[in-house]
Amino acid sequence: MAVNVEKIIRNNDAIPATIGFVRGVPKVGLSQQDLEFLADSRSPRHKISRRDIAYIMSEQLTGGTTIAATMILAHRAGIDVFATGGLGGVSRPFELMDVSADLDELSKTPVSVVCSGPKSILDVERTMEYLETKGVPVFTFDDGHFAGGPQRSLNVPGFYTRDSGVSSPFVFNDYKNAAKVIYNGKYSMEMCNGYVFCIPAPEEVALPDKFISEVIHDSLEEAQRLGVRGKRLTPFLLERINQKTDGASVKCNIAFVKNNAAIGAKIAKELAYIKAGSSSSTPTSITPTSVESKSKPLDHPNAAVVGSISLDSTSVIKAERGPIMGDSNPGRTFQSVGGVGFNVALAFKVSSKEHTPLLFISAVNSKDSAGKSVSESMERYGLSKEGLCELDDDRTAQYTSVHDAVGRLIVACADMDIVEHLPEEHVSRLLDEYKPTYILMDSNISVSVMNSIAKYASESANTKLLYEPTSAVKAYKLGGTNLHCFPNNEVSLVTPTVAELETMFDSFGQNGKFDNIDSWFTVLDSLNLDLLREQAERCANRFQLLSDYAEQGVLQQAFRLLPYIPNILLKDGANGILLIQLTTNAVEAKMLVDPYSFNLKADSAASFTLVQEGKDNLGVILQHFPGFTVPPEEIKNVTGAGDSLAGYLLSRLANGERKGRFFLNDLADPEREDVIMSAQKVACLSLLSDNAVNIDEIRRLKEDD
């Protein structure tokens, strides 16, 4: 459940940070290993509230945190919003004077709690009165499914039920309004209290009021009879309710935790935009077609690029011994138009035949200076502005980087918020209108837009979707999308670096994509990977690089991703390209390879080629192509090598003689190796230029070909 909740949060464009104590360490953001350890019921696990924190740390114990303890850790980490199941409160019978520490914490810690209301086992009315005394605002979400239509007043939900019978002090029906409440209280007035946002359980999972009330009454009587009280009372009651409802209470609990997580993420996202000075995550001033209403429509583009465009400022420090941190360094600075999407589009343009149309989709604000520069450069390079979306509420993206004397990146700052706000409607409309065969998206766009593109690719015959991960930081996004496994895979090819591959692998794992036994494991099991690993071990005796990849876990990561992404083109700089592919023609491919020398029987540029035949003619191709060496003293910058490679690759695919022919899948196709080696040359050419794309040299290469 925890993994799935994190996936839901990422799908709603927020970053999850599951909180708990692992062996005495307070953690904000748990790894997969931490989650599994925390969930292991074979060892003692503790329920940790404010009073327990110091003891848990001292004794190096493990456990989950109550709302109170979670708020403390979230606040220490700078987190404004967190989602959970139910709120603690005043226990029944009231005479016990058993009041949850959650309520006091809400009065003194400025973290907002998105929940399903006070737990039904509590005295909801007295809980609300206590929160009022403590000055804690409580809001109930009007989801539009209450009898009588939209209401000005609602009752707070009661955990398993949508209506506790107790009036809610405030109501909200818009995520932005909830975010404004948090911002005005916490940041404008600097008040130190928390906020409670109650989300009614979805109608399809909520339990009937009368039924659950009777179950709770019986469970409370049993607890009183057995003398169960204090911090043991809530777990005891929840367990009894689970038993008496035949598991329906737990299913309801899990369902509304997921629902709360989605709404909490949306509130957090709106709050982030308010804090950043942007008025909305859903801009209202969108020009539906392009920056210029008079932009000439494209003539049947066979390819589209969806991603970032920015004004880049690049500084190169002259000191040969490296920069002096914390001080001014002599150097040179120049500006150019960049962004991964733009670089790919430009490389496509200069690599293609004359007048080859390309649909480039991105977002700008042409009213600011950066936007004006970007717009002028698009015209200068002959790229159509038909796909640009005008967002007046955001700044045009800017990227600032500092490099050492040999071009290596020292540090960079990427302000790409406007690209994150690229509307799904704009992208979907253009794809539906122009119907490109090849689409490349970069990781600067939002997960929701990625999902729209993936959905389009899955529903369009012969459409191939390529993914450029952009950076090791942003490559996690693909794991948060709604992808399916072969043969229903949406993504045809990814072009990661080694670091980006690792991030993608981790993200897919964290988002539960490797837990899908019916589809993911079925495909993986059919590939006979154990036999391929044996081949790789023998091959590694002759090729040290393959041994290095195996030790680094690169092969394992790539193999596990194959059911979702059948073609992985791994970029490794001077080490070249490692191509890992799922093939549907393993028998024929295997016949092309000498199993003893690991070479193709025909002339080949590849260092080695391995083919493993699996079930039903499925299989895996593992192939390495050597890289090119560029003298360090000739390198001017390294920012555009991967973008140039991706743009060239896209141009060769889109300009293929037969539309939709994905020749990278065919081991016998001579164009396949030529494209891969030429793409590496184009990447190397970018290293020799101050600009991300070496236009002149790529054109010369095209003329030579």
Q: Are residues 310 and 214 in the same domain?
A: no
Asked if residue 111 lies in contact with residue 193, where contact means CB atoms within 8 angstroms, the answer is no
Instruction: Give the tokens for residue 181.
Output: 């409440």
pLDDT tens-digit readout, 574-608: 999 999 999 999 999 999 999 888 998 888 999 99
Asked if residue 339 lies in contact with residue 310, where contact means CB atoms within 8 angstroms, the answer is yes
CA-nearest of 632, 331, 243, 661 to 492 is 661
Q: Are residues 74 and 95 in the same domain?
A: no
Print the domain residue range for 412.
Answer: 303-704
Last residue of a domain, one of 26, 57, 78: 78
Q: Are residues 452 and 439 in the same domain?
A: yes
What pLDDT is recorded for position 293? 37
What pLDDT is recorded for position 284? 33
pTM: 0.60
Tell me the pLDDT band of 705, cut-offs 50, 70 and 90.
Answer: low
Tell me the pLDDT band of 282, cut-offs 50, 70 and 90.
Answer: very low
* pLDDT of 316 strictly over 60: yes
Instruction: Give the tokens for residue 476.
Output: 């996690």
Asked if residue 443 lies in contact with residue 471, where contact means CB atoms within 8 angstroms, the answer is yes
How many domains is the chain built from? 3
Strand partners of residue 533? none
Q: Are residues 482 and 625 in the same domain?
A: yes
Phi-psi region at 455: left, alpha or beta (left = phi > 0; alpha = psi -120 to 50): alpha
For residue 204, CA distances in Å to 79, 146, 200, 207, 256 come to 31, 13, 11, 9, 10
Q: Is 688 part of a structural domain of the chain? A: yes
What is the mean pLDDT of the segment spanning 477-492?
Answer: 94
Asked if residue 556 lies in contact with residue 563, where contact means CB atoms within 8 angstroms, the answer is no
Which domain CATH number covers 89? 3.40.1790.10
Query: Pairing state of beta strands 138-141 and 81-83?
Result: unpaired
Q: Are residues 608 and 488 in the same domain?
A: yes
What pLDDT is recorded for position 562? 96
Helices (H) and strands (E) in the chain, counts: 24, 25
pLDDT tens-digit readout, 355-383: 688 999 999 998 888 888 888 888 888 89
Q: Is 103 part of a structural domain of the chain? A: yes
Q: Are residues 464 and 553 in the same domain?
A: yes
Across all residues in the chain, what is the average pLDDT? 87
CA-nearest of 148, 153, 151 to 166 is 153
Q: Are residues 368 and 354 in the same domain?
A: yes
Which domain CATH number covers 657? 3.40.1190.20
